[in-house]
Chain A
C-alpha cells in the first residue's frame, strides 16, 4: 500500500514538471529574454536603448500618452464604477438586475468594437451623435472630436470601468452587514455609516480596482490603434506593433525597451494589488450567504434610476445599436433610415467571402485548442494546488497569474523574438504560436474557476466516498468530477471567448495562412470597409451573446460573463 502511495506522488511530480516546463519554455524564457535584450542590444550591457527612448520625442510622447490616458481612465473609471456598484448592489434602485447585466456586458465584447462604435458616433465630420447634437443645439461645429486624447480616454473609460464595477460590487456584496449595523446601532446615520465604515472598509478594493483599470487601459491595443492611429496619437502598444511591422533591428530594440517598460509597469501593479493590497483586504467571505443591507433611496429613487438609465443608454445601448446600424448603411454620411441607404450586402459579404470564412475557421480552431489545452493544465494545477501537499505546487499558479498580467503586446513580441527558430523552436507563422500566446494570456480565468470550484467541494465529501470503499479513480469519477463539471465547462468558455475574437496578439503573430477573425475585422475597419467590419463585429457580438446564454444554461445560471 505504501508503495502505491509513493507511485501517485511520482505521477504528481511528472504533471508539475511537464506544466512548469511548458510555462518555462513558452512564457518565462521569452519574457526574460525580452528583458535581457532590452539591456544587451549588441553584445554588451548598456542603458543605451533606454536612453534613446527618453531622448526620442516619438517614443517619449507615446510613453506620456499611455500614462496620461491610463491614469485618466483609471480616475474616471472608479468615479463611475463606485457609485454604480453601490447603487446596484446596496440600494433599492429600480431594475438592478438589468443594470448589472448591462454594465457587465462590455466585459464580453472585444474592445475594438467599442472603438468602432464611438468612432462612428463622435467623428468630428460625420459622427452621428455629433450631427444630432449640432442640429439640436444649432451649433456651427461638432461638439466632440473622437480623434483626441479626450476621445481616447472616453472610450477607454466606457470600456474598462466594468473591471472596477465587478470588483467593487463583489466587495460590497460580500461585506458582513453586521459591521454596518454596528455603526448604525452606535448612532450613525446611513450616510455617515457609508463614509465612516463602508468606504474605509472598501478602500483596498477601490485601490485594487483602480490599478486593474489602469493596467487594462495601458495595455490595450485595440482602442488606441483604431482611434489613435488616424489622429496620430500613439501609445506604447501601438508603437510596439508599428516597430514590429517595420522589423528593423533598431526598431525591434526600441519595441523591446517599450515592451519591458510596459511589462514592468503591469507586473509591479499586479504585485501591489495582489500581495500588498490583497493582504489588507478586510472583506472576508463568510460561509453563510450574507444579505447586504439595502439602503432606501426614498424620494431620490426615481430620479436616480433615470440618471443611471441615461448613463446606460449613452454608454452601452447607443454604441451597440450604432455598430449594427453601421453594418446596414450604404453611405456612411447619411442616416441608415434614409431612402435607399439600407442594405444587407455587408452581412452577405461576411458569410460568403472566402477569406473571412477562412479567418473565422482559423480563429475557431486555434481557440478550441487554446481552451482545451488550457483547461487540461488548469484542472491538473487546481487539483495539485487544492488537494495535495506537493512542494512547488504553487509555482505554476504563480506563473499563470504573471502570464495573464503581462500585456498582450509584450507576450506576442517575446514569442516572436524567441520562437522563430533562433533557439531551436520555430513555431512562428503557425497556428501554434497563437495557441501558446492565447493560453499564456487567458488561462488564468479557467484556473480561477476550477480552483474556486474545488475549494467549494469540501474534502469530507471525498472522504465519505473513501470510507464507503471507493478508490482514488472511483472517487474522482463519482464525487469530485460531477461536482466541478459546470465550472470546467464555464472555464473552457471563459478561455475560448476572448481567444475567439482576440486582436492584439493575433495581429502581431498571424501569417497569410493563420489570419484570425479579429485581424480580419481590424483590416476591414482600417483599410477597406467600415460597414463590413461592423457586420463582422455584430456577428461576433451575437456569437458571444449566444455562447454566454448557453454557458448560463449549462451551468444553471452559476456562470456567465
Chain B
C-alpha cells in the first residue's frame, strides 16, 4: 500500500526523448496500466520506478520518500518492490522453492518463516506441488507464476509487471489476467502493469495511461478511455474504429466523398474526423444514416465482421451473425450509427504509431 509520485519525469537516451515531462501519482492499492505501442516509453517508465534507469530530470517518490532525483538515487535493491520481467528471469540454477525464497533470504528471515511464507505464496499461485522442480522442467505458464510468486513473497508495497503475459498462449493469458487481478485485490497492493495489449489493460486496470512516443495521450478508467478517447490516437489504439473525414456546420456533418450527412449537436465545428466503432454501426432496413454496398464479410461465430463501401470510404461493421450471407454486392445496405466521436481534424495522422 503506497503512493508513487512521478514529478516532471523526462528521460532521454542520447538525443532521443523517450519520456517527456511526465507527472502523475499512482495511488494506494490501485491497478495502473501503462498502455502503448512498443517503443513508446512505457517500459522505460517502469524501469525508472524500479531503479534500473535514472530519469534525465525529474523526481520519483515512493510514499513521500525520494528514490530518484537530481541528487538522490536509491538503487533497486533498496526500494523494496516486487517485479515480474517479460522474460520471467527465473534463475535456471535454483529450484522453484529457492527462486521464490530468494528475496526473503536476502532479508535474512529465519528459516521456518521463509518456508511458511514461500509455501503460502506458492499455494496462491497453484505451484505447491512443484516446489522442488527446476525451472527447465516447468512450462512457460508455470515459470511465469514462479516469477509472480517471487515478486510477491516479500509482500512488496508495489508490484511492477513488465508485459508478463506476452509470452503465454492465448488461453493461459486470459486466465492469468484474472488471477493477477484477484491476487492484487486480495493483497490490496499497488500494481503498475506495462502492456501493449489493450485487452489486458481493459480487464484489469483501475486506470489506464495511454502513451505514444513518450507523450501521455490520456489517463482514465477503461470505460472512459474506450468511450471518450481524447484524440484519434487513443480511439484507434484502444479498440477498433472507422475514421471518416467531414465538415461540421450548423448541427450537421457533411462527410467528404459520401452523399449522406450525419446529425451532430456537439461543440466541434469546421473540419472534423468522425470516429465510429464497428459495433456502433448497425444494418437496418428503412431509415438509415448511411448507405453502402457489401465488400467482404467474415463469419466469426457470434458476429459477422464485414466491410461496407460507403461513397469513397470503407467501413468495418461488426453486425449480427444472422446477417451473414444475406446480402449480395449489388444490394444497397442501410446503416444506422448509434454512437460516434467527433474530433477536430488533425493536420498530421495522429493514429500513426510513432516510435
Contact = CB atoms under 8 A, between A and B. Distances in A.
B106 A464 contact: no
Contact of B76 (A461, A463, A474, A479): A463
A5 interface: yes
A461 B89 contact: yes
The interface residues of chain A, by DSSP majority, are classed as: helix
A484 B123 CA distance: 32
Contact of A461 (B86, B91, B160): B91
Interface stretch (B32-40, B67-75, B204-212, B305-313): B67-75
A468 B89 contact: no
A485 to B, nearest CB: 9
Interface in B134-182: 147, 150-151, 154, 160
B92 A483 contact: yes
A458 B91 CA distance: 10
Contacts, number: 70
A479 B106 CA distance: 13
Which of A458, A460, A464, A467 has most B Cβ within 10 Å?
A467
B85 A469 contact: no
A469 B89 contact: no
A64 B238 CA distance: 73
B103 interface: yes
A463 B52 contact: yes
Contact of B106 (A5, A458, A469): A469
Given A458-B87, A460-B87, A482-B93, A467 B81 contact: yes
A458 B86 CA distance: 11
B76 A467 contact: yes
A307 interface: no
A461 B88 CA distance: 8
Interface string B257-277: 000000000000000000000
Given A2-B73, A478-B102, A464 B83 contact: yes
B171 to A, nearest CB: 22
A136 interface: no
A478 B85 CA distance: 18
A319 to B, nearest CB: 41
B71 A465 contact: no
Contacts of A471: 77
Given A460-B89, A461-B91, A483-B93, A467 B73 contact: no
B186 interface: no
Contact of B75 (A466, A468, A474, A483): A466
A5 B80 CA distance: 19
B326 interface: no
A1 interface: yes
A470 interface: yes
A467 B50 contact: yes
A362 B345 CA distance: 84
Contact of B72 (A1, A458, A463, A468): A1
A482 B95 CA distance: 13
Interface string B84-111: 0111011111000000001100110000
B82 interface: yes
Nearest to B160: A467
Interface string A1-23: 11001000000000000000000
A1 B87 contact: no
A391 to B, nearest CB: 14
A465 B102 contact: yes
A463 B71 contact: no
Nearest to A474: B106
Contact of B74 (A1, A465, A478, A479): A1
Given A468-B102, A468-B103, A469-B103, A5 B73 contact: yes
Nearest to B76: A466
Given A2-B71, A2-B73, A482-B93, A468 B87 contact: no
A474 B76 CA distance: 13
Nearest to A1: B73
Interface string B43-76: 0000000111000000000000000000111111
B73 A464 contact: no
A466 B107 CA distance: 12
Contacts of B90: 464
A478 B92 CA distance: 12
Given A460-B87, A464-B89, A470 B73 contact: no
Interface in B10-51: 50-51
Interface string B223-254: 00000000000000000000000000000000
Interface string A389-424: 000000000000000000000000000000000000
Contacts of A483: 91-93
Given A463-B52, A464-B150, A470 B77 contact: yes
Contacts of A479: 91
A453 B81 CA distance: 29
B78 to A, nearest CB: 8
Contacts of A465: 91, 102
B75 A1 contact: yes
A468 B93 contact: no
B248 to A, nearest CB: 50
B61 to A, nearest CB: 15
A254 to B, nearest CB: 53
B154 A460 contact: no
Nearest to B75: A1
A4 to B, nearest CB: 8
Contacts of A5: 73
Given A460-B86, A468-B106, A469-B107, 19 more contacts: A458-B89, A461-B91, A463-B50, A463-B52, A464-B150, A466-B75, A466-B76, A467-B76, A467-B77, A467-B82, A467-B103, A468-B150, A469-B78, A469-B154, A470-B77, A479-B91, A483-B91, A483-B92, A483-B93
List the 3 closest A-B pairs by CB distance, nearest first.
A468-B103, A460-B89, A464-B89
